[in-house]
Structure 1
């Protein structure tokens, strides 16, 4: 009785596992929830200003909190990034606490105003001690090291970017604190939105410019430090031939 040939083993083609490091990093806009995330973050502020104008700060506060919670639920149901919604809820919660404690509608904006002053001070101090935060934050997020600090030109690019962030946060504090002292809640809400993402986008653009210029500078220095390639010597003729 002849033996039956064993069935050939089925070839299993395994797809190579996708390297996590090869995946493109999400852009800043994607991390903030995209265009919808930018719009959602402004809606509670707009609702607060409008309801406060029509009624009173208590109704405006609850309306803003309700809208922020509703946005978080919508993003959860639609499986959209929750980080912008959670950050928005935290900001609204802090603003609500301060508003209740102060008993005034302008208290809704106090946290953002003083946060701008803190950020401005942090960037200013970092520039004075020659550790510009624009470069420190970028290098930390990308794990690229701080070699740029040893080169004056490369560090200067990050000094410029840090200076722009100082101007952004400083202008936010000066303008909004003045409106806060004038009890102008309507213009305060408008300034909060108008001076938010537009100024931040400018600062980010300058930071990206600084990163590219600094990286180019470091690459140039690395190329200059490499020893010149040694050309192989020509083979000598055999005198016996």
Structure 2
């Protein structure tokens, strides 16, 4: 009578040929790249960036910015902070702390109003809530240090994170743009077999990484100089005015790769 625990006993060894159902299930399991592509593609679709829908470039860029309401929600808190800081600025440290509290309070308060209005109207408030959390975190950090320029640190971290993600993904051959588009167009990662698509997605990801890097290159010297007014102004200029053209270029490049076939 054989010992089932003895090495070499067929009863103790794993089945080298699992049932077909188990093999199919393993093959059907999504890879990490597919799951990431689904997450990125889903976010792009919710933002109105779906090449399969055949919308015009202007419509897509406008949707990506959130229309007039999205623009106001993303720009006005920063404008209010900048104006309040500039108008009430005083070199006296005791007075400056009060100016900082006023400027941050108005900015965060406005972001809170935008969020509350969306919630009351039962509209999607994810972007507004995200903006409110970011504004509150920036205000908390700035109040803790007592330095107005420190309210821009979360933005620096965000640009660093996004820029690094786009750059690394492009350099290792899995550009984030390609993962998102592959999901939206229903081809998964099959685009990697097409040299033209790989090249376009590579350079698009490099372009986005360059945008985030440019923001850091221009804004960090102003941060270390403690020039809050100039830093706030440059941040606004390098925000939507640069984001919108990049969305348009990305959209046009992707549409060129996937031309619509006449029905």
Distance (whole Å) between structure 1 residues aligned to residue 230 and residue 180 of structure 2: 32
Other structure's SS at 2:160 match:
helix
The aligned counterpart of 2:69 is 36
Q: Structure 2 vs 1, CA of residues 26 and 165 (structure 1 numbering), >3 Å: closer, same or farther? A: closer
8 Å Cα contact 1:32/1:84 also seen in 2: no
Q: RMSD between aligned alpha carbons?
A: 2.2
TM (norm. structure 2) is 0.67
Whether 1:50 aligns to 2:83 is yes
User: What is the CA deviation profile of residues 198-238 of structure 1, one whole-angstrom value per residue up to 9, with x for unaligned ones?
Assistant: 2111221222123223335xx9xxxxxxxxxxxxxxxxxxx
Q: CA deviation at 1:159?
A: 1.2
Distance (whole Å) between structure 2 residues aligned to residue 83 and residue 159 of structure 1: 30
The aligned counterpart of 1:156 is 199
Greater Rg, structure 1 or structure 2? 1
Distance (whole Å) between structure 2 residues aligned to residue 156 and residue 52 of structure 1: 45
Matching residue within 170, 176, 179 for 2:219: 176
- Count residues with an aligned counterpart: 194
User: What is the CA deviation profile of residues 53-108 of structure 1, one whole-angstrom value per residue up to 9, with x for unaligned ones?
Assistant: 23311111111111111122233334443222112112112211221232210111
Distance (whole Å) between structure 2 residues aligned to residue 141 and residue 113 of structure 1: 30
The aligned counterpart of 2:143 is 100
The aligned counterpart of 2:15 is none
Distance (whole Å) between structure 1 residues aligned to residue 157 and residue 132 of structure 2: 18
Other structure's SS at 2:248 match:
helix
Q: CA deviation at 1:177?
A: 0.9
8 Å Cα contact 2:65/2:240 also seen in 1: no
User: What runs of 5+ residues in structure 2 fail to find an aligned partner?
Assistant: 1-44, 50-61, 89-98
Q: CA deviation at 1:122?
A: 1.2
Distance (whole Å) between structure 1 residues aligned to residue 250 and residue 225 of structure 2: 34
Distance (whole Å) between structure 1 residues aligned to residue 199 and residue 141 of structure 2: 40
8 Å Cα contact 1:155/1:214 also seen in 2: no
Moved over 6 A (4+): none
Whether 1:147 aligns to 2:180 is no
Distance (whole Å) between structure 1 residues aligned to residue 151 and residue 183 of structure 2: 33
8 Å Cα contact 2:73/2:114 also seen in 1: yes
